[in-house]
Amino acid sequence: MKNAKAFTLVELLVVISIIAVLLAVLMPALNKAKEQGRMVICRNNEKALVLGSNLWSNEHDGWVLAGDWFKDPGDNGTESSLGPYIGATDKGKKMSVKVCPTAVHGNFFKTDTAFHSDDTRYTFAINGYLSFNLGKSPGRSGPTGRDSGGINGPGSVYWTEHGLNKLTDIKTPARIVYFIDHEYYFACDWTFNPVKTIAELTRLCSNSDYKFITRWHQKKTNQEYGVGNIGWVDGHVSVEPSDFAKKDGSTEMWRKYFYK
C-alpha cells in the first residue's frame, strides 16, 4: 500500500491564504448583520416603551409620562413609573427593555452617576417638551403650545406625576418624538441636538463631564454620529427622518419633531 501524499508547505500556505481572504470578505458582512439584529431589538424595545407609555396615559387622564418615567414604582413618591406597563422593573438588573443592545458595547452609562447607577440603566430618552419644557421661552413650548410656567424642577408635578401635554391634544402624533436613542433620560436643547457636534453640546451643559451618546447606529469611523431610532407619539418606530440632522437656513430641522 502506497503512502498517502502529504500537503507541501506551499499548498498549506495557499489554503491558509484563501481562508484569510474569505474571512476578510465575510467578517464585515457578519458584523453588519449582527448590528442590524441589535438595531431590530433596539427598535422593538423602543416600541415597547411607546406602547407602554400609551397604556399609562389611558389610565392617567390622557397625560404623557412625567419626567421621572424611568424610575421604578414608588421611587419618586408617586406612580409615574413606566415599569408596570412594560412588564418589568430594573432593580438589580443590568439590562432591560429600556436598554438598546448596541449601547452596552460602548462607553455608556457614564454621563451622570446620580442617574446611571448599577441598577438604573437606560439608553432611551423621553421628549423633554412632552413631559416638561424648561420654560425658557415661548418658542420652546410643548407640541400642544403648553408651557410649564417655570414649574420645571425635580419634585414638580411634571417630573413626578404626569407630563406637560395630553396625547389627545397633539395634532400630529406621527411626527412628534416620544422616545429617542439617548444615554440621558430626557432629550431637549442642552442634552440633545443632532446639528451640533459633541464638543458643542458639551459646552452647552452645566457640567463639562457630560458627553451625551446618541444616534450611534451605522456610525462610520470618521463620523461623530450615525443615525438614531425614534419612537413616535402615535406608536410607530422608525429611523430618524432624512432632514432630522440638517438645517434649513438658521432653523434646525430636528426641532419641528420635538415641539411646536
Q: pLDDT 10s digit of each residue in the chain, 260 long?
A: 555 566 677 777 777 878 877 777 766 666 677 777 777 888 999 999 999 999 999 999 999 998 888 887 777 666 677 888 887 665 555 557 888 888 765 566 655 554 454 445 778 999 988 988 765 544 556 777 777 776 666 778 888 888 889 998 899 999 999 999 988 888 887 788 888 887 777 776 655 555 678 888 888 778 888 899 999 999 999 999 999 999 988 889 998 999 87
Domain that holds residue 151: 10-257
| E-strand stretches of 138-191 | 177-181, 186-187
* Residue 135, domain member (yes or no): yes
Place of cell 411634571: 158
| Res 118: pLDDT | 45
Element (H, E) at 248: strand 247-248
What is the rounded CA–CA span in Å between residue 108 and residue 110?
5
* Residue 5, domain member (yes or no): no
User: Cell numbers of 84, please?
Assistant: 408596570
Of 76, 59, 41, 68, residue with least CA distance to 237: 41
Single-letter code of the amino acid located at 149: G
Cα–chain center distance at 235? 15
* Residue 218, domain member (yes or no): yes
Alpha-carbon distance values, 140 to 79, 82, 160 (Å)? 27, 25, 21
Residue 238's φ and ψ, nearest 5 degrees, are: -155, 170
* Residue 181, domain member (yes or no): yes
* Residue 178, domain member (yes or no): yes
What is the rounded CA–CA span in Å between residue 69 and residue 78?
11
Q: Contacts by 69-73 with C-beta closer than 8 Å and gap 24+?
A: 69/126, 69/131, 69/185, 70/98, 70/115, 70/120, 70/122, 70/185, 71/120
User: Cell numbers of 160, please?
Assistant: 413626578
| Res 75: pLDDT | 73
| Res 211: pLDDT | 65
* Residue 2, domain member (yes or no): no
* Residue 1, domain member (yes or no): no
| Res 36: pLDDT | 76
* Residue 4, domain member (yes or no): no
| Res 207: pLDDT | 58
Structural domains of the chain, count: 1
